[in-house]
Structure 1
Amino acid sequence: MDTSTRTYPELFMQLGLDNNLLEIERFIATHSPLDNDVKLVDAPFWSASQRAFLKENYLADSDWILIIDQLNKALHEPKK
């Protein structure tokens, strides 16, 4: 069993997005906060393939789930 923890850079690379920390912070700042009633997979900025990746891995409770949950939380937090 793989017990490694996935990271934001790995997730963003998998999603085909810039995966350096500055670009990750910029992405989160640009797209947050999501309304509380908007599920992460339903956010309007995902492509169909990105949405499918997030949904499939969430439903499968894969090893991506922890970092997907962290991204979900980050995108729903109010801006400071």
Structure 2
Amino acid sequence: MEPAFHSMPSLFEQLGLPSGDSEIAAFIDRHVLPPNVPLADANFWNEGQARFLRDCLEEDADWAEVVDHLDARLRR
């Protein structure tokens, strides 16, 4: 069975955030993740969003790849 593929827009929908391309780009432009802060510990997530992101990575869930991609895009 092929693993599920999740897109960046679907991740933003799952997080309850606007999921259009321009809205995702604006979110990434507004938020910078310092090198020493894990993605789920960033101060711009609410408790549910942080828990979802943490669980995805800890459980290596289907969402982990796109969550890793978001993490990379937020670090500059």
TM range (shorter): over 0.9
Tell me, yes or no, if structure 1 residue 69 matches structure 2 residue 68.
yes
2:24 corresponds to: 24
CA distance in 2, matches of 1:2, 1:42: 31
CA distance in 2, matches of 1:2, 1:40: 27
CA distance in 2, matches of 1:2, 1:52: 26
2:3 corresponds to: 3
CA distance in 1, matches of 2:17, 2:2: 24
- Structure 2 gaps, min length 5: none
CA distance in 2, matches of 1:35, 1:56: 21
In the TM superposition, residue 4 of structure 1 has moved relative to its aligned partner by 2.8
Tell me, yes or no, if structure 1 residue 52 matches structure 2 residue 33.
no
The letter of the residue matching 2:54 is: K
What count of residue pairs does the alignment treat as equivalent? 76
TM-score normalised by structure 2 residue count: 0.94
The letter of the residue matching 2:26 is: R
The letter of the residue matching 2:4 is: S
Greater relative CO (CA pairs within 8 A, separation 6+): 1
- Structure 1 gaps, min length 5: none
The percent of aligned pairs where both chains have the same amino acid is: 38
The root-mean-square deviation of aligned C-alpha atoms, in Å, is 0.9
